Structure 1
Amino acid sequence: MSTTSVARQHLPSVAEITKTQVDTVEAWHQGPIENQYDGFLELVCRQHEFNYRLWHEEDIARSPTADDAKIAEVKRAIDKLNQARNDMIEKLDDAITALLERLHIRPADDAPVNTETAGSAIDRLSIMSLRLYHYREQLDRADADADHRNKVAARIDLCQQQHADLSKSLQELLDDIFDAKKRHKTYRQMKMYNDPSLNPEIYNA
């Protein structure tokens, strides 16, 4: 059995990851936010939830009816959600690192490193699933004219192409990582603005 085949026993395919994201976006718009997954997909769903919540907070922040107090409240919520989202990207990459160590997969020291981690790509696919869902909502608007629908349909086509391209690239990256052709690392976000000891607007207050 190949190394990649062994890894697939422990790590879901990209198709399974994207299905989880698409299915939960649909379900969460119809009912409560729930995470019924196990293992790596549980982490995927948790990370995805922060993007889901962020998406809707960002909508509120741009509402012309939102007053200054509401915008300030939403901005603070966005900061917390964005920090949690980035923390979960690191947890996804840490989980891959742990699996590689458990399977004793060690690439050569000079093996290439991808410019984007698998966790970051999963995050981008999460956002893309949200974008596709909300673009499709626009096609169903009762007040939408033909020009609006045509514009939205064209963007859906582009989003689907980008989603397919990114899915393929991520699967190839994971295959290369588990075949020891590329090195995998977790890149710490090291955000400064939420750290009271690093943001001068906080520690000087």
Structure 2
Amino acid sequence: MSLTDKAWKIFNESINDYHVKDDVNASLNNPYPADSLDHLLYRKNWIDTVQWHLEDIIRDPEIDPTEALSIKRWIDRSNQERTDTVEYIDSWFLNQYKEVTPAADAKINTESPAWAIDRFSILSLKVYHMKEEAGRSDASAEHQKKSQEKLAVLEEQKVDLGTAIEELIADLESGNKKMKVYKQMKMYNDEDFNPVLYKK
């Protein structure tokens, strides 16, 4: 099984596990060994899935402002956790290819494998929820038709993005591309760099 096929399977396992309770407060119960890539993939998608639903909740026009602020802070923490997990995945790839000597003319990809996998995880959520919309019995035929059309585009994107990730991995394995990772260095969460925080 290719890495992207495995990732897609794990992402959908995470999404389906979440929807057993369909509750943003549900506990993460990762079924994979803590030192494995599978564990990181499941964790990554679980974070994305919870955040997907938080983003839905916060858009309720009737939401209490205090609750909205609490959820916004939750989303901020989730974004940091997401970034940290992507960097853990990249560390796994760096370790995986540490013995590969890049070719003299090896190129650098525009994004690391883990950030491409990040987009793949979000895509799995788009596919899942667009399928729901396409099959909604309480929606109009026009809504179902538009959702089906969008789903077809998302399925095409899945193939294209999956192919691009597999090609990147093959290039890293062969040394045709070299992996270089830059930490995100987000400043707004850090009290040493966010002036609103350090001027308090």
| TM-score, with structure 1 as normaliser | 0.89
Residue 54 of structure 2: aligned partner: 57
Moved more, 164-173 or 64-73: 64-73
Q: Which runs of 5 or more residues in structure 1 are unaligned?
A: 1-7
How big is the shift at 1:109? 5.0
Alignment of 1:149-160 (within 5 A): 149-160=144-155
Deviations 1:41-84 (A, max 9, x none): 11111111111111111111101121211110010000000011
What amino acid sits opposite 2:174 in the alignment? Answer: D
Alignment of 1:43-192 (within 5 A): 43-101=40-98, 104-108=99-103, 110-192=105-187
Task: Find the aligned partners of 1:186 and 1:111 in 2 and give their Cα distance.
Answer: 15
What amino acid sits opposite 2:153 in the alignment? Answer: L
What amino acid sits opposite 1:166 in the alignment? Answer: L
Q: Percent identity?
A: 35
How big is the shift at 1:184? 0.8
What amino acid sits opposite 1:60 in the alignment? Answer: I
Task: Find the aligned partners of 2:193 and 2:49 in 1 and give their Cα distance.
Answer: 28
CA contact (8 A) 1:26 1:133 kept: no
How big is the shift at 1:166? 0.2
CA contact (8 A) 1:90 1:187 kept: no
Task: Find the aligned partners of 1:171 and 1:58 in 2 and give their Cα distance.
Answer: 30
How big is the shift at 1:189? 0.6
| TM-score, with structure 2 as normaliser | 0.91
Residue 20 of structure 2: aligned partner: 30
Query: RMSD over aligned Cα, in angstroms?
Result: 1.5
CA contact (8 A) 1:18 1:126 kept: yes
Structure 2 counterpart SS, 1:162: helix
CA contact (8 A) 2:105 2:176 kept: no
Deviations 1:11-66 (A, max 9, x none): x6211111111222122212464211231111111111111111111111101121
Deviations 1:172-192 (A, max 9, x none): 100110111100122211100
What amino acid sits opposite 1:175 in the alignment? Answer: A
Q: Which runs of 5 or more residues in structure 2 are unaligned?
A: none
RCO (CA 8 Å, sep 6+): is it higher in 1 or 2?
A: 1
Residue 197 of structure 2: aligned partner: 202
CA contact (8 A) 2:44 2:86 kept: yes
Task: Find the aligned partners of 1:21 and 1:182 in 2 and give their Cα distance.
Answer: 27
Question: Runs of 4+ in structure 1 displaced over 6 angstroms?
Answer: none
